Amino acid sequence: MRHIADVAGRELRGLFVSPVAYGILSLFSVLAGIFFIVTLSAFSEWVLRLQQMQAIEALAQANLNDGMIAMFYQSMGVVLLFLIPGITMSLFASEKTNGTQELLLTSPLTIWDIVLGKFLAGAIFTTLLVAIVAAYPAVLWIYGNPGPELGKTISGLLGLLLVSWTYVSIGAFASSLTRSQVLAFLLTFVILLMMMFMPAIADLGVAGTSEARDFFRYLSADVHLDQLVRGLVDTKDLAYFAVMIGTFLVFTKTAVESVRWR
Amino acid sequence: MIEARGLTKRYGDVVAVDDVSFQIGKGEVVGFLGPNGAGKTTTMRMLTGFVPPTDGTAVIAGHDIFTDPIAARRAIGYLPETPPLYPEMTVESYVAYVAKINDVARGKRKPAVARALERCGLADVRRRVIGTLSKGYRQRVGLAQAIVHVPPVLILDEPTVGLDPIQVREIRQLISDLASPEQGESQHTVVLSTHILPEVEAICRRVILVNEGRKVIDKPLSELTAGGMTLDEVFVREIMKEAPAEQAAS
């Protein structure tokens, strides 16, 4: 376990010498800016209309968190779904094409050193992405009057952070299955899309019993993100993320180890 | 230093390595010989802990590869057939990384890296990115990586394949140097897999010949060539011996 940081450090340095990391960071910043402006102007338009209609009651309830930041966070969650596979695709696949898998597995590292090191690298990168998201509500906080509600804003960010780490663990698993980065990207993308559509599938009625429907809904990261964005920090949702991350890390460990018994 | 006890590797019905045993003492330089597909690489991969043997075990510098795998792997410097390099890293940072994951103490890392680069003739290119290096230099980086933690055992899988004649000579010289160290340095036990016979004659003092997964010969080089035969002739004779039996079987 002492080498997790070594593996993570190398991985991060590898990411930042390639243009991919910078490409994703800039693309993400641009998209975050666009979604921020779009959701903010939609919100202010809505407030303006409420004022014209003199809908006092609705106006009293309108707030930045529910009217704008929630939408902004959810959009960024979708953006993460598209970008994270681009980060995670190389985690293990490139070790195989470089032949460095043999270096790692014949050095005094445990498989957990390797898997957790790679996950940590990916998680640090996505934490950076979420930090970019955080800059925008911070702007509202500074210039807004009244600004957003701090608790809700932060619990939403926590949600995004957990979603991103979940995506990283899934991407790491996909990357550990193949030596092709393209395939790893596609596989991650397909799994994440399926997860996103889980609630829709559940609502189609194909799920049958209501228990099955609840189960399908539970699998979706979005459902749990929603709760956190609304400021509801519930152990049920936190447990979902812990279980997902843990499960996919165990899968990844098994996949990496499998070269030993194949 | 290295003790292989009945190493066997089966892939389904195919037996890649069949009950191979040998002992290699400290400071020995052993040529691990055989035609392509004889099981050389598989044997080395079992010794280095990359794949576990189906049967049998090995003890590296007193550490069993099953019961004490981490210590066994730490005792080995391994250069696989294709040097395991990260193309985007610089030579120095790569070798330093390998030192790190091989538990070279923080304070000793810098001198260890400098020494490995020096020995492999890489001091001038230490800030170059590995991806821009020629094949010969990459092979040297692979060697530097293998020796940086001063392992008692060095396992080199076809270290000169695909190099030009001058590079081949340089790498061989380097391996010879590693086997007979300068004063005050610990001696490496070297296992060198190859199918290039002059290489063995140039570097090794002992030969283990494997064919179709089995050990055929295990003798000092001097003894093998004592009858006036060249290593070339011995090799061909031993390999051909198996062939008629195989034809009869099929």
State the 10-residue block means of pLDDT for chain B, 250 residues long: 92 90 90 88 93 93 93 94 94 96 93 92 93 91 93 91 82 81 68 85 88 88 78 79 56
Is the pLDDT confidence value at A119 over 70?
Answer: yes
Residues 6+ apart with CB under 8 A from A189: A81, A82, A85
Q: Which domain holds residue A204?
A: 4-261
pLDDT tens-digit series, residues A243-252: 999 999 999 9
Q: What is the mean pLDDT of residues A123-152?
A: 90
Asked if B141 and B172 sit in the same domain, the reply is: no
Side-chain-side CA neighbours of B85 within 13 Å: the count stands at 26
Q: Does B43 touch chain A (CB under 8 A)?
A: no
pLDDT tens-digit series, residues A17-37: 888 899 999 999 999 999 999
Query: Where is B23: in which H helix or E strand?
Result: strand B14-24
The span from the CA of A229 to the CA of A221, in Å, is 12
Do residue A98 and residue B100 have CB atoms under 8 angstroms apart? no
pLDDT tens-digit series, residues A210-261: 777 788 888 888 889 989 998 889 999 999 999 999 999 999 999 999 988 7
What confidence score (pLDDT) does residue B250 get? 46
Asked if B160 and B235 sit in the same domain, the reply is: yes
Q: What is the mean pLDDT of residues A144-159?
A: 88
The span from the CA of B181 to the CA of B143, in Å, is 15
Is the ipTM, as predicted for this complex, more than 0.95?
A: no
**Domain ends where: B93, B117, B150?**
B150
The span from the CA of A193 to the CA of A223, in Å, is 14
Asked if B183 and B218 sit in the same domain, the reply is: yes
Q: Does B102 touch chain A (CB under 8 A)?
A: yes
| Chain B nearest-CA residue for A96 | B84
Asked if B160 and B61 sit in the same domain, the reply is: yes
Do residue A3 and residue B100 have CB atoms under 8 angstroms apart? yes
Query: Where is A126: in which H helix or E strand?
Result: helix A111-143
Residues 6+ apart with CB under 8 A from B60: B1, B2, B47, B72, B75, B76, B153
Asked if B133 and B193 sit in the same domain, the reply is: no
Domain tally, chain B = 2
Q: Which domain holds residue B114?
A: 84-150
What confidence score (pLDDT) does residue B171 get? 83
Asked if B159 and B225 sit in the same domain, the reply is: yes
Q: Does B78 touch chain A (CB under 8 A)?
A: yes
Domain tally, chain A = 1
Packing angle, helices A181-203 and A90-98, rounded to 10: 150
Point out the residue among A98, A102, A108 whose CB comes nearest to the CB of B103. A108
Tokens read off for A258: 């499998």
Do residue A259 and residue B103 have CB atoms under 8 angstroms apart? no
pLDDT tens-digit series, residues A81-116: 999 999 999 999 999 999 999 999 999 999 999 999
Residues 6+ apart with CB under 8 A from B168: B160, B199
The span from the CA of A203 to the CA of B202, in Å, is 74
**Domain ends where: B150, B175, B195?**
B150
Do residue A102 and residue B50 have CB atoms under 8 angstroms apart? yes
b/e B59-95 (16+ beta carbons within 10 angstroms → b): bbbebebeeebebbbbbbbbbbbbbbbbebbbbbbbb
The span from the CA of B10 to the CA of A256, in Å, is 20
The span from the CA of B111 to the CA of B105, in Å, is 11
Q: Does B131 touch chain A (CB under 8 A)?
A: no
